[in-house]
Amino acid sequence: MELEAEAVSDQFKRLVDLETKKSVHINLTRAAHSEYKKTLFDYSLSMQEVFETFATMVGEGDPGAMSIVQEAYRLKREKAVRSITKKEAENLYDVISEIEPFK
């Protein structure tokens, strides 16, 4: 009897874990938000529905969703490289400006 109650409790816990929602907060530019919302409106979809579908697809390793993740990663790396390159250029100019060649 005790084992049966424990099994039911485990099943209930798994069901609760499956149905428990996590809250996610994101920031979008006004333009991205506006265009995204307009597009979803055409399909009668909410942002929540699309984000949840996308998250599930990524979790399952869907090739289309993973290509979006990989593209986001590529863009992030490019931005970081541009930022580093710009900072290095600024540092180089700072060093050059401190050198007094006619001293």
85 band by pLDDT with thresholds 50, 70 and 90: confident
Cβ–Cβ under 8 Å, residues 46 and 56? no
Quick one: DSSP state of residue 99?
-
Token pair, residue 5, equals 């109650």
Q: Is the pLDDT of residue 5 over 80?
A: no
2 band by pLDDT with thresholds 50, 70 and 90: low
Token pair, residue 23, equals 């809250």
Report the candidate in 45, 52, 50 with the shortest Cα–Cα distance to residue 23.
52
Tens of pLDDT, residues 34-76: 999 999 999 999 999 999 999 999 999 999 999 999 999 999 9
Q: Is the pLDDT of residue 86 over 90?
A: no
Cβ–Cβ under 8 Å, residues 70 and 61? no
pTM above 0.75, yes or no: no
Residue indicated by tokens 């307009």? 38
Token pair, residue 9, equals 């409790």
Cβ–Cβ under 8 Å, residues 57 and 65? yes
